[in-house]
Chains A and B, each alone.
Chain A
């Protein structure tokens, strides 16, 4: 069990990186605290798996340090780091039985056979594998193999951390939910640091207490699912989290607020001050589809937008609007009246975010 600290860490697969684009991981500092359940969320190719392999020691970072409990482990092999990792595709030892598969990591560390037996039984029970223990691993289904694969990680409860690299990709949807619950239970039971890599926001938010969103080789936000939803600190987080993602509109600063096309959006004096302090190339406002207010009756004081399209998803509706040329998605509760032709909308000030070069502009306290 350990706190994992990444210090000035960067990694490039090229031996002579010329610019930031050559880096799979751009320089970062990050701490995974002991006993936390974390998700590492991001699209394919953003460096999630690279980061995981650096933590486990399968890959050696080109710059910076990895520390376990304040001790630099860069030079240590995965064997020495005492870490468990579950991969995207199930790895089982074909010729062994399920029991021997689960016992394998324990036998390799020279544990007494009686203790191995009880450990394996315990983990087999958690993962519902008891009935398969004497079966040869090669005859299992993909789900079962992945459970065995996970079991081999979970059976070692003395590990510094368990890393999961999209472990549920090959699993049936109805089993996914069950297994995620299992992992959560195991986490609560053993209090092991767990890092769970995924590109599925639902999977991340059901498993993790805190989510690190990765984009372009960087962790752009680290926070609770709620923080990611309510205050995305990067436009990518706004776009990637939520369904549909955040509405982002490019704007120009002007007196009293910002403007795009013929629409003026007022901003607080503090924010206006912050804009004038920064040198930016792009300025965007962002608002979540859930937070746009649609007036039941036409309201001349509100913004007027054309209704382009209405999608009924059963429990809610998605409106596609056109506000002065900017497309907007709005999530409308099922019981609300659907505006026809024109809609009167407002952006509540507390949910209107301002992004400067993709990063959230916050009012300093």
Chain B
């Protein structure tokens, strides 16, 4: 057998290689570069091995931040996913109302992060904010700038307000894709409403739910702007999440080495958890 030596095809994949290199690999390698060296200026840099990693992994401030981050993302998923499904199930499917509801739901998604933070910052203020002053006038003591619980609730409600629409719209599109005949068969089989949801709607929503869970996990795990604008991470460090801690470290204290090591660990955590979600949600397909 004569093997033809022709490597022209490599030229065709070259653009992709270049694109990926410049957009992902090279920037990331500079971070890797910082994370294993102590760099003072162009001429004085010292290889420090895994020292920055050790330091970062043992830092109690980061442990607290990471724990807060996990609790926050868990809350976001536990509220937004069921709520999004519930909204999608109750949305009208035809007529003028359905378009109107779609538009209303899409509005929060179109508002920039900064603006969302500012809206809620003002809305929730105990002295002049509509929400804050109303609650206080009703005798409910509320002050997100001073009370940890209030701050958390406000940040979570803000996130739910901003992003539940995304889950709802994804689920709505998933529900519309279910052929009518499934519902007809369920009626013939005398299935209850719960059985229809459990055995028809939920299984058919699985792929859009996977996307929704991944998007909401990644976004909420990387959240920065909204709590930063709303609470500035306070009161104390109560709403300081990982991104903000990282920014303090890299920009505030200019500890580039530890910040680089931390960035990579942060990235790996997101990758790992996303992979876990993905595997858990697609695994049942493999069952025979």
Of B188, B190, B192, B288, the most chain A CB neighbours within 10 A belong to B188
Residues B288 and A87 in contact, CB atoms below 8 Å apart? no
**B-chain residues with CB within 8 Å of residue A88 when the two chains form the complex:** 181
User: Which B residues between 147 and 203 are near A, CB-CB below 8 angstroms?
Assistant: 179, 181-182, 184-185, 187-192, 195, 199-200, 203
Complex: how many Å from CA A288 to CA B223?
Answer: 78
Complex: how many Å from CA A83 to CA B184?
Answer: 12
Residues B185 and A91 in contact, CB atoms below 8 Å apart? yes
Q: Which of A84, A91, A94, A152 is within 8 Å of B181, CB to CB? A: A91
Residues A108 and B189 in contact, CB atoms below 8 Å apart? yes
Of B182, B190, B288, the most chain A CB neighbours within 10 A belong to B190
Residues B203 and A105 in contact, CB atoms below 8 Å apart? no
User: Which A residues between 135 and 154 are near B, CB-CB below 8 angstroms?
Assistant: 135-136, 138-139, 149, 152-153
Complex: how many Å from CA A84 to CA B187?
Answer: 10
Q: How far is the CB of B214 from chain A (nearest CB, A)?
A: 21
Residues B203 and A78 in contact, CB atoms below 8 Å apart? no
Residues A93 and B200 in contact, CB atoms below 8 Å apart? yes
B287 within 8 A of A: yes
**A-chain residues with CB within 8 Å of residue B184 when the two chains form the complex:** 53, 58, 78, 85, 87
Q: How far is the CB of A157 from chain B (nearest CB, A)?
A: 15
Q: How far is the CB of B248 from chain A (nearest CB, A)?
A: 47
Q: How far is the CB of B107 from chain A (nearest CB, A)?
A: 34
Residues B190 and A105 in contact, CB atoms below 8 Å apart? yes
- The residue in chain B whose Cβ has the minimal distance to the Cβ of A57 is B187
User: Which A residues between 85 and 110 are near B, CB-CB below 8 angstroms?
Assistant: 85, 87-89, 91, 93-96, 104-105, 108-109
A8 within 8 A of B: no
- The residue in chain B whose Cβ has the minimal distance to the Cβ of A82 is B190
Residues B188 and A95 in contact, CB atoms below 8 Å apart? no
What does DSSP make chain B's interface, helix, strand, loop or mixed? helix
**A-chain residues with CB within 8 Å of residue B287 when the two chains form the complex:** 136
Complex: how many Å from CA A109 to CA B187?
Answer: 12
Residues A104 and B191 in contact, CB atoms below 8 Å apart? yes
A247 within 8 A of B: no
Complex: how many Å from CA A105 to CA B191?
Answer: 7
**B-chain residues with CB within 8 Å of residue A105 when the two chains form the complex:** 188-190
Q: Which of A83, A89, A94 is within 8 Å of B188, CB to CB? A: A83
Q: Which of A77, A96, A109, A135 is within 8 Å of B199, CB to CB? A: A96
Of A53, A85, A87, A91, the most chain B CB neighbours within 10 A belong to A91
**B-chain residues with CB within 8 Å of residue A152 when the two chains form the complex:** 185, 189
Complex: how many Å from CA A286 to CA B192?
Answer: 54
**A-chain residues with CB within 8 Å of residue B189 when the two chains form the complex:** 104-105, 108, 152
Complex: how many Å from CA A189 to CA B80?
Answer: 53
Complex: how many Å from CA A149 to CA B189?
Answer: 11
Residues A78 and B187 in contact, CB atoms below 8 Å apart? yes
With contact pairs A91-B181, A108-B192 given, residues A139 and B187 touching in the complex (Cβ less than 8 Å): no
A56 within 8 A of B: yes
**B-chain residues with CB within 8 Å of residue A254 when the two chains form the complex:** none
Of B179, B189, B287, the most chain A CB neighbours within 10 A belong to B189
Residues B187 and A94 in contact, CB atoms below 8 Å apart? no
Residues A136 and B288 in contact, CB atoms below 8 Å apart? yes
Complex: how many Å from CA A268 to CA B103?
Answer: 74
Q: Which of B187, B204, B288 is within 8 Å of A77, CB to CB? A: B187
Q: How far is the CB of B199 from chain A (nearest CB, A)?
A: 4
**B-chain residues with CB within 8 Å of residue A109 when the two chains form the complex:** 190
With contact pairs A87-B181, A89-B181, A136-B288 given, residues A94 and B203 touching in the complex (Cβ less than 8 Å): yes
- The residue in chain A whose Cβ has the minimal distance to the Cβ of B285 is A138
Complex: how many Å from CA A16 to CA B276?
Answer: 56
Binding site for A on B (CB under 8 A): 179, 181-182, 184-185, 187-192, 195, 199-200, 203-204, 285, 287-288
Q: Which 10 A-B pairs have the closest CB atoms?
A: A91-B185, A105-B189, A108-B190, A93-B199, A79-B190, A78-B187, A95-B203, A85-B188, A94-B203, A87-B181
Name 19 A/B residue pairs within 8 A (Cβ), A-sorted.
A78-B184, A79-B190, A83-B188, A84-B188, A85-B184, A87-B181, A89-B181, A93-B199, A94-B204, A95-B203, A96-B199, A104-B189, A104-B199, A105-B188, A105-B189, A108-B189, A108-B191, A138-B285, A152-B185
